[in-house]
Amino acid sequence: MLRVTGLTSQFRGRAGVVRAIDDVTFEVPAGEAVGIVGETGSGKSVTIRSVLGLLPSYGKVVGGSAEFEGTDLVKLHRNRLREIRGARIGFVAQNPFGSLNPVLSIEKQFRNVMRAHRKISRTDLRDLAIERLESVQVRGPERVLRGFAHELSGGMAQRVVIALAMLHDPSLVIADEPTTALDVTVQRQILDLIDTQVKQGGRSLLLVTHDLGVVAQYCHRVVVMKSGKVVETGLVADVFTNPSHDYTRQLLAAVPPAPWAQAVPSLSGQEV
Ligand X SMILES: Nc1ncnc2c1ncn2[C@@H]1O[C@H](COP(=O)(O)OP(=O)(O)OP(=O)(O)O)[C@@H](O)[C@H]1O
Give the footprint of ligand X on this chain (CB under 6 A): 11, 13, 18, 20, 38, 40-46, 56
Nearer to ligand X, 54 or 186 (CB): 54
**Least gap, CB of 40 to Mg ion (angstroms):** 7
Among Mg ion, ligand X, none, residue 178 binds (CB under 5-8 Å by kind): none
**Least gap, CB of 247 to ligand X (angstroms):** 13
Q: How far apart are CA 45 and CA 94, in angstroms?
A: 10
Count CB neighbours of 160 within 10 A: 26
**Least gap, CB of 20 to Mg ion (angstroms):** 11
Nearer to Mg ion, 45 or 171 (CB): 45
**Least gap, CB of 258 to Mg ion (angstroms):** 26
Among Mg ion, ligand X, none, residue 11 binds (CB under 5-8 Å by kind): ligand X
If binding means CB under 5 A, how many residues of this protein chain bind Mg ion? 2
Give Cβ neighbours of residue 11 (< 8 Å, ≥ 6 apart): 17, 18, 20, 56, 58, 59, 60
Give Cβ neighbours of residue 269 (< 8 Å, ≥ 6 apart): none
**Least gap, CB of 53 to ligand X (angstroms):** 14
Q: How far apart are CA 242 and CA 262, in angstroms?
A: 18
Point out which span in 36-44, 59-67, 195-203, 219-227 binds Mg ion (CB under 5 A).
36-44
Point out which span in 43-51, 65-73, 81-89, 185-193 binds Mg ion (CB under 5 A).
43-51
227 residue type, one letter: S
Among Mg ion, ligand X, none, residue 41 binds (CB under 5-8 Å by kind): ligand X
Q: Is 45 in the site for Mg ion (CB under 5 A)?
A: yes
Nearer to Mg ion, 48 or 152 (CB): 48
Nearest to 184 by CA among 162, 211, 216, 146: 211
Give Cβ neighbours of residue 12 (< 8 Å, ≥ 6 apart): 58, 59, 60
By CB under 5 A, name the binding residues for Mg ion: 44-45
